[in-house]
């Protein structure tokens, strides 16, 4: 079960990174971002992702230390 949660958290991080890369590409190319509503809650999503990433890393550390 712990490994499943870690895999899901890593998947979340990968999807978030993909969204960041897409937004960065748009910003560099001057394309408008049509998803303004998503930008409005960016701080909340960042906090959620940061928390999930911390939990995933703590889980990975525990597994590597033989505690998981």
Residues constituting the chain: 68
What percentage of residues in the chain have a pLDDT greater than 90? 12
Domain count, the chain: 1
> Which residue range(s) make up the domain with 53?
2-64
pLDDT at residue 40 tops 70: no
pLDDT at 33 over 60: no
**64: pLDDT strictly greater than 80:** yes
Helices then strands, each counted (H, E), the chain: 3, 0
Is 60's pLDDT higher than 60? Answer: yes
pLDDT > 80? residue 39: no
pTM of the model: 0.43
Give the pLDDT of residue 53. 92
* Contact (Cβ atoms closer than 8 angstroms) between residue 25 and residue 68: no
């Amino acid at each position: 079960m712990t490994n499943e949660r870690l895999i899901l958290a890593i998947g979340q991080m990968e999807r978030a990174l993909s969204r960041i890369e897409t937004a960065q590409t748009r910003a560099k190319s001057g394309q408008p971002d049509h998803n303004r509503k998503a930008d409005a809650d960016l701080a909340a999503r960042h906090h959620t992702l940061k928390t999930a990433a911390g939990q995933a890393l703590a889980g990975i550390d525990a597994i590597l230390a033989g505690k998981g």
